[in-house]
Amino acid sequence: MLRFGLIGTGRIGDMHARLVAVQPDAAVTWCYDVHADSAARTAAATGARATTDLDALLGAEDVDAVLIASPTNTHVEMILRSAEAGKPILCEKPIDVDMARVEECRERLRAFDVPLQLGFNRRFDPSHAGVQKAVAAGEIGDLELLVITSRDPGPPPPRPILEACGGLFRDTTIHDMDMARFVLGEDPVEVYAMAANRVDPIFAELGDVDTAMVVMRTASGALCHINNSRRTNYGYDQRVEAFGAKGMVRSNNHRPSEVSRHGAGGTGTRDELLYFFIERYRAAYEAEIRDFIDRVTAGKPPRVTFEDGRRALLLSEAALKSYQTNRPVEVDYT
C-alpha cells in the first residue's frame, strides 16, 4: 500500500486523487492546498486528511510519496521541500517555465536521493505508447520521419493562465518535445520554428504566438515535425506518426464513442474528438500513476526523469529562440 500526500487539489490534483483511490494498493492519505475548502473537498472524496500546512503533510508518517499538482511556479519549491523530506515525488510537468530556476533546482537536487517522476503523462497513453513501443521494437526499421500534430481545443484559456504559462512553446510544444524525444529514442540536436498569431488577439497582446510549426533533426539524421495550434473546433487533436524503411505506425485521435453516421450530408461522420486533456488522457494519467506506484514499490527508478523535463524545456526554449531570431538553433544539453 503506497500512501500519497497530494500537494495541490485543483482540477488536475483532484483527478489524480481519484485515480490513486481506485488503485487497490494505493491511497491518498493527505491533501494539501492553500485553499482549505479545495483541500477539504478532495480529501472528503478520497478518505484523506485535508491540510493547509505543507509541513504537516511532508512530516506525516502515513505519507510514502507525494504527488505535486500545485501551480507551475511552485513546482521547484515543492520538489525541493519534498526531496528534503525524503519522499518519492510524482510532479506534474513542467518543472518550471524559467530555465534558470530549473538549472538551480537541478543543482540543489544533487544533494538528495529521492525518486522523482515528471508528469509527461502522454508517454503512458496507450496509443502514443503503442507507437513508441513499435518503433523501439524495430517494427518500422530506423525512424526517419516523425510527425507530431498537437492542437488544443478552443477557445484560449483565461488570461491569468496564459500569463503564467510561459507561452506556446513552453506550455504546449513542450509536451510534443517530450513525445519527440520519447519516440525518436534520441535527442534532437537542431531546431527551427515558424510561428504566427491566428487564433486570438490575446496571444499577441501577451507577446506570445498561438500557431507554430517546428522542424528538428537528430544526430542520426532523423527528422521531426511538430505543428501546434491553440484552437480547434473539433476537439483535441493529438496525433503521432513515425515512418521508416519498414513502414509507418500512427497514433490517431480518440473519441467518446465509436458511433458513425451516414446521411445526405456525408458518410462515416464520427463524434467530435474528446475535448481536452483530462478526458483524452484519462487512461494515460491512470497508467502513469500505476507505473509510479509499481516502480516506487519495487525500488526501481521512475521512467520519466527530471532530466527529461529539463531537456524538453531546453528544446522548447530552442524553438522559441529560433522563432525569435529566425535561425535554426543548435541545442546544448550540458
Query: Is residue 207 a contact residue for a copy of itself (CB under 8 A)?
Result: no
Out of 101, 213, 290, 303, the residue judged to bind a copy of itself by CB under 8 A: 213
Backbone φ, ψ for residue 118 (5° rounding): -95, 140
Write down the least CB distance from residue 306 to a copy of itself, Å: 28
Write down the least CB distance from residue 165 to a copy of itself, Å: 20
Rank residues 75 and 175 by Cβ distance to a copy of itself and give the closer one: 175
Out of 268, 298, 299, 334, the residue judged to bind a copy of itself by CB under 8 A: 268
- The residues in 51-110 that bind a copy of itself, with binding defined as CB under 8 A, are none
d(CA 275, CA 288): 20
Rank residues 101 and 231 by Cβ distance to a copy of itself and give the closer one: 231
- The residues in 103-142 that bind a copy of itself, with binding defined as CB under 8 A, are 126-127, 130-131, 134, 139-140, 142
- The residues in 29-48 that bind a copy of itself, with binding defined as CB under 8 A, are 45
Q: Do residues 276 and 256 make contact, with C-beta atoms less than 8 angstroms apart?
A: no
**Could you count the other beta carbons within 10 Å of the beta carbon of residue 263?**
7
Write down the least CB distance from residue 189 to a copy of itself, Å: 11
Asked, as a colleague might, if the bond just before 201 is cis with ω within 30 of 0, I would say no
- The residues in 233-262 that bind a copy of itself, with binding defined as CB under 8 A, are 233-235, 237, 243, 245-262
Query: Is residue 49 a contact residue for a copy of itself (CB under 8 A)?
Result: no
Instruction: Give the SS3 label for residue 224.
Output: strand
Out of 231, 290, 295, 321, the residue judged to bind a copy of itself by CB under 8 A: 231
CA-wise closest residue to 57 among 1, 99, 3: 3
Q: Do residues 199 and 210 make contact, with C-beta atoms less than 8 angstroms apart?
A: yes
Query: Is residue 50 a contact residue for a copy of itself (CB under 8 A)?
Result: no
Write down the least CB distance from residue 75 to a copy of itself, Å: 28
Rank residues 165 and 223 by Cβ distance to a copy of itself and give the closer one: 223
Site of grid cell 524559467? 98
Q: Do residues 246 and 124 make contact, with C-beta atoms less than 8 angstroms apart?
A: no
Rank residues 10 and 130 by Cβ distance to a copy of itself and give the closer one: 130
Write out the DSSP string of 123-139: GG-HHHHHHHHHHHTTT
Q: Do residues 212 and 168 make contact, with C-beta atoms less than 8 angstroms apart?
A: yes
Query: Is residue 21 a contact residue for a copy of itself (CB under 8 A)?
Result: yes
Give the contacts of 324 (CB within 8 A, at least 6 positions apart): none
d(CA 58, CA 83): 10
Which of the ranges 19-27, 29-37, 113-121, 303-311 carries the binding residues for a copy of itself, by CB under 8 A? 19-27
Buried b (16+ CB within 10 A) or exposed e, 169-182: bbbbbbbbbbbbbb
- The residues in 149-188 that bind a copy of itself, with binding defined as CB under 8 A, are 149, 151
Q: Which three cell numbers stand for residue 94?
A: 513542467
Query: Is residue 147 a contact residue for a copy of itself (CB under 8 A)?
Result: yes
Query: Is residue 26 a contact residue for a copy of itself (CB under 8 A)?
Result: no
Query: Is residue 232 a contact residue for a copy of itself (CB under 8 A)?
Result: yes
Size of residue set near a copy of itself by CB under 8 A: 79
